[in-house]
Amino acid sequence: MVIKLLQQYFDEDRVLYGDKLKERYYHIWEMNNSLKAKAVILPTKTADLSVALRICNDHKQKIVIHGGLTNLVGSTETEGDEVVISLEKMNQIEEVDVKSRTMTVQSGVILENIQKIASQNDLLFPLNFGAKGSAQIGGIISTNAGGLRVFKYGMTRHLVLGLEVVLADGTILSTLKKIIKDNSAYDLKQLFIGSEGTLGIITKAVIKLVEAPKSRNSAFVAIDTYNKVVDFLKYMDSGLAGTLSGFELIWKETYRRMTSPPALAKPPLKHGSNYYVLLESLGSNQEEDKARMQALLLDAFQEEMILDAALADTQSDLQWFWKIREDVRVVTSQCNHDQHFDISLPIAKIGETIDTIISELYNIPEVELVVAFGHVADGNIHLVVGKSKQTPELIHQINTVVYYPLQELGGSISAEHGIGLHKKPYLHLSRTDAEISLMKTLKRTLDPNNILNRGKIFDL
């Protein structure tokens, strides 16, 4: 019945079902597995999506929302009885307002395209991460994604000024404003940022841009102890006077794997140090800013804060350095099976905690490789665990080692990837019973029939 009603409204090429689903999938890493669903709906405008949701809500039809399919927590997985709504056709950049420094975009616009258009207008959309060529802005906002420059510019929610959202019953809620300050009662858009599509479907956004930097400088640095990593962070942040935009930490084994065959990238610094830091500054004068970074690195070396440093001299050096950090597939390709983590914890506790977690993981016989890296300046560390097999019992055993120490530290099981299906059993480690109860109340209020991404984050 639902499919027939949708067919009455949508053109044939906007309702896919049966054999047409064979070429669809639920994740870009699972392209060999055909999507299991009743149908896929491809709206091209907000009004279309409103109609589709109204039909599905009237018939209590479960919906799963698809964007760029880059998530790592099972948010786009299906069981076969859902209608999938993909926002890929809603991919227009509607306006670039240079004077207001804003861009109005539909939810299916790919992050890299936003970055390019901003750059063409001498502006910068600072959000940046490895999946920028596939990730869509609607999904990015829905998961409150982080990335490589959170330290300076904040999470996605700090870059969203307005949203258009379609609620479960088809109601269109619009807060598409370009203003930064608006204290007129509840900031409703914040309900949907990070809600993983469980409260409504984002269709448009007004995003905040900043003036494009005139300089970009990066360096790789080798350090022997974690305490010196923290000291170096404070030293560089102070010395660069607000221009430090990235501070990525890579553990010893991770760096070796990222810069040794089969990886194509060569190491900027020799292997063997305990930690490697990749830092970035964005400023206004290339020569002066480079000289300032170089002088700071020299002083840090003389003070024995760092062991060695390599400063990027050219644009190709910049691309080389950041390709090492962004190409996580180099590591996952070396795993028989891989399990990913993006945890958050106080900066001062990172060194000791991660070392303990890595040691305990290697005590599990099936664990073959553990690599650690992350955005240490904002307390977000990523782990990739390679293992010999993939079973639910082993997944839970590994999750227990990584997640359970975080509760006592006041950390989080998800720094930037969300909860989805995979982290749902561990949500209580990061959120209190009162918090989860209130989340469920919001879900029941905005989606009383529980059709939007049902079972994602928590069960009702």
Give the residue-averaged pLDDT of 121-143. 95
Confidence of residue 407 (pLDDT cuts 50, 70, 90): very high
Q: Do domains 215-329 and 335-438 have the same CATH topology?
A: yes
Highest CATH level, class, for 2-86 = alpha beta
Question: What per-residue confidence (pLDDT) applies to 178?
Answer: 96
Tens of pLDDT along 76-113? Answer: 999 999 999 999 999 999 999 999 999 999 999 999 99
| Residue carrying the six token digits 């991404």 | 453
pLDDT for the residue 327: 86
Backbone angles phi, psi at 265, to 5 degrees: -75, 140
Q: Residue 91: what residue type?
A: N
Helix/strand/coil for 219: strand
CATH number of 215-329: 3.30.70.2190
The string over 131-144, giving b where at least 16 C-beta atoms fall within 10 Å of a residue's C-beta and e elsewhere, is bbeebbbbbbbbbb
pLDDT range class, residue 279, cuts 50, 70, 90: very high
pLDDT at 326: 87
Rounded mean pLDDT of 7-18? 92
In this model, does residue 12 exceed pLDDT 90?
no
- Looking at residues 298-307, what average pLDDT do you find? 98
Backbone angles phi, psi at 115, to 5 degrees: -60, -40
Over residues 425-447, mean pLDDT: 98
Residue the block writes with tokens 């299991």: 36
* Per-residue pLDDT at 245 exceeds 90: yes
pLDDT tens digit sequence for 416-427: 999 999 999 999
pLDDT recorded at residue 130:
85
Task: Determine which helix (DSSP H) or strand (DSSP E) holds 279, and give its type and residue range.
Answer: strand 275-283
pLDDT tens digits, one per residue of 185-237: 999 999 999 999 999 999 999 999 999 999 999 999 999 999 999 999 999 99
At residue 290's C-alpha, the angle toward residues 289 and 294, to 5°, is: 120
How much is the average pLDDT of 114-121?
A: 98
Query: What are the pLDDT digits (tens) for 363-406?
Result: 999 999 999 999 999 999 999 999 999 999 999 999 999 999 99
User: What is the per-residue pLDDT for 113?
Assistant: 98
The domain segmentation of the chain, as residue ranges, is 2-86, 93-211, 215-329, 335-438
Report how far residue 13's alpha carbon sits from residue 416's, in angstroms, rounded to the nearest whole number. Answer: 35
Q: What is the pTM of this model?
A: 0.94
pLDDT digits (tens, 9 = 90+) for 13-38: 999 999 999 999 999 888 889 999 99
Classified by CATH at the fold level, domain 93-211 comes out as 3.30.465
Query: In the numeric block, which tokens belong to residue 101?
Result: 């420094």
328 falls in which pLDDT band (50, 70, 90)? confident
**CATH architecture entry for 335-438:** 2-Layer Sandwich (3.30)
Quote the pLDDT of residue 232: 98
Six-digit token string for 284: 């206004």
Whole-angstrom distance, CA of residue 206 vs CA of residue 134? 20
Average pLDDT on 260-278 reads 96
DSSP state of 241: T
Predicted local confidence at residue 442, as pLDDT: 98
**In Å, how far are 3, 8, 42, 44 from 12, measured between CA atoms?**
11, 9, 10, 13
The pLDDT, as a whole number, for residue 29 is: 84
1 band by pLDDT with thresholds 50, 70 and 90 = confident
Q: What is the mean pLDDT of the chain?
A: 96
